[in-house]
Amino acid sequence: MSVVNNSRISDIELAPQGHLAIEWARRHSPLVDGFLRERLNDGALAGRRVAVVVHLEAKTAFLATVLADAGAEVVVAGSNPHSTRDEIAAALVDRGIEVHSTRGSGYPAWEKDLLAIADTGPEFIIDDGAELTIRMANHRPDLFAELQGVTEQTTTGVSRLVELANRGRLPCPALAANDAACKHLFDNKYGTGQSTIQAVLNLTNMLMAGKDVGILGYGWVGRGIAAHVRALGGTAWVVEVDPVKGLEAFMDGHRVGDLDTVLPVADFVITATGGRRALSRPDFAKMKGGVILANAGHHDLEIDVEALADEAVDFRVVREGIDEYLLGGDRSVLVLANGALVNIAGGLGHPIEIMDLSFAVQGVGCHELARGAVAEGVQVIDGSIDAEIARAKLAFHSISLEDRHAHQEDTIDDLLGPEG
Ligand SMILES: NC(=O)c1ccc[n+]([C@@H]2O[C@H](COP(=O)([O-])OP(=O)(O)OC[C@H]3O[C@@H](n4cnc5c(N)ncnc54)[C@H](O)[C@@H]3O)[C@@H](O)[C@H]2O)c1
């Protein structure tokens, strides 16, 4: 059967539009297009089956084409049913890469797509949220045993892989790509920070200056969101459960409080905890009328939209990507992008330059796994690879660094004197 027949996409006729977007991503991805390509030249991935299950948009598609150019047999699905771009899926199929994904497919069809990817028997998975790995463990144990490595994109996915390993159910080495400095320092903070605020403002066509913004979670993502709120003249109100992170937010100059303090004043509330139901049934009554909720965490369930719908007396779509839940009287709560990751499902995703870094980490991670260079269990990528990637990015910007000098060394010899 041809790749077109094997694939499940919306419409192959959309391919030309997708090719343009992928080419635009390539132009701003010097690491994936240069550094990673060079590394894959050794043939380690030639003929190897690689599944890419990441939000299916142009940057992901470009990574998939680079892996395919290196000789890998690549199959692709989206890591969330709301985030797939149909034109990108079409362009990949047009290039001969098998894809199982359509935008807004709903969860049952999306899971079926993931199992179709599992049935191709991947040797390596480039995963996001461990969405494919977990499903293979659960539904395809025979094929799962064949797996030789996983490299994982997100904070939530790494926690899931660690749990899987602790239960003795991870049969192969896994790389926590998220934990590489070149990933979370830039992707989670600058990439998610900028793209989340961009998506919120684009979807609503509203102004940030003068707004009060509740931010749940002050991890890498929350820090980035708060910084971008402030940069645009808004006030970030951070809600944390970790006292050290709460103190850090306070020292960074943000307002900090619990939900009872923050929800009544917030114009926007953005979740970034990585857990389920950070905003749950009792919280909706505490919110200011007309508040706008958005989620930046991996779970679509971080805002309990089902409970909100249950509490509501009426519902309407007020604008594309904005649902309004009427709670009685004149109070209502609005939700962006169905509570899915707002920057990806309701926006263009991370800036290309950020995904260039993240995918350099993921691509090199996959190469390391194929070389058999990763020990069993969930591992962090070697620090020397982080340094190489950062150096390559700096070199692209024509920035060179100083060398450490021998005369800098500070030893206790000087203090101890000749007796030592
Ligand atoms: N939208 C995107 O493009 C994108 C990008 C990167 C990461 N993510 C996802 O964002 C989420 C957060 O990632 P991160 O790297 O910031 O994780 P993190 O672990 O660094 O931060 C999460 C923070 O949330 C806090 N927290 C937990 N429960 C809370 C609660 N009920 N109320 C308030 N605070 C709470 C924790 O104490 C922690 O400080 C994860 O799901 C991750 O996978 C999304």
Q: How far is the CA of 156 from the centre of ligand 1 (A)?
A: 8
Q: What is the pLDDT of residue 111?
A: 97
Residue 308 has pLDDT above 90, yes or no: yes
Residue range 189-345 in CATH 3.40.50.720: yes
pTM, two decimals, is: 0.90
Q: pLDDT tens-digit profile of 180-214?
A: 999 999 999 999 999 999 999 999 999 999 999 99
Atom of ligand 1 nearest to the CA of 154: 43
Q: How far is the CA of 231 from the centre of ligand 1 (A)?
A: 21
**189-345 and 3-179+371-396 share a CATH fold:** yes
Over residues 400-419, mean pLDDT: 84
pLDDT of residue 2: 55
Q: In what order do the strands lie in the sheet with 314-319?
A: 255-256, 235-239, 212-216, 268-271, 291-295, 331-336, 322-328, 314-319
Q: Is 154 in the pocket of ligand 1 (CB under 6 A)?
A: yes
User: Which whole number is the average pLDDT over 353-370?
Assistant: 98
Q: Is ligand 1 within 6 A of the CB of residue 7?
A: no
Domain definitions of the chain by residue range: 3-179+371-396, 189-345
- Give residues with Cβ within 8 angstroms of 153, minimum separation 6: 54, 126, 127, 128, 129, 177, 178, 183, 358, 362
Q: What is the pLDDT of residues 47-104, one digit of tens each?
A: 999 999 999 999 999 999 999 999 999 999 999 988 899 999 999 999 999 999 999 8
pLDDT of residue 329: 86
Confidence label for 177 from pLDDT (cuts 50, 70 and 90) = very high
Q: Are 230 and 236 in contact (CB under 8 A)?
A: yes
Contact 377, 371 (CB under 8 A): no
Of 4-13, 66-75, 363-372, the range with the lowest mean pLDDT is 4-13
Ligand 1 pocket residue status of 240, Cβ below 6 Å: yes
Q: Residue of the nearest CA to atom 9 in ligand 1? A: 297
CA of 198 to the centre of ligand 1 (A): 19
Pocket test for ligand 1, best of 188, 218, 223, 247 (most atoms within 8 A of CB): 188
Atom number, ligand 1, closest to the C-alpha of residue 223? 16
Atom of ligand 1 nearest to the CA of 156: 43
- Is 296 a pocket residue for ligand 1 (Cβ < 6 Å)? yes
Report the pLDDT value the prediction gives residue 412, as an integer from 0 to 100: 83
pLDDT of residue 82: 87
pLDDT at residue 209, rounded to an integer: 98
Is residue 186 in contact with ligand 1, taking CB distance under 6 Å?
A: no
Q: Kindly indicate the confidence band of residue 1, based on its pLDDT and cuts at 50, 70 and 90.
A: very low
Residue nearest to atom 1 of ligand 1 (CA): 296
Given ligand 1 and candidates 80, 216, 221, 295, which is best to mutate, with the most ligand atoms within 8 Å of its CB?
221
- By the 8 A CB rule, do 82 and 340 touch? yes
Classify domain 3-179+371-396 at the CATH superfamily level.
Adenosylhomocysteinase-like (3.40.50.1480)
Q: Please, are residues 210 and 267 in contact by the beta-carbon 8 Å criterion?
A: no
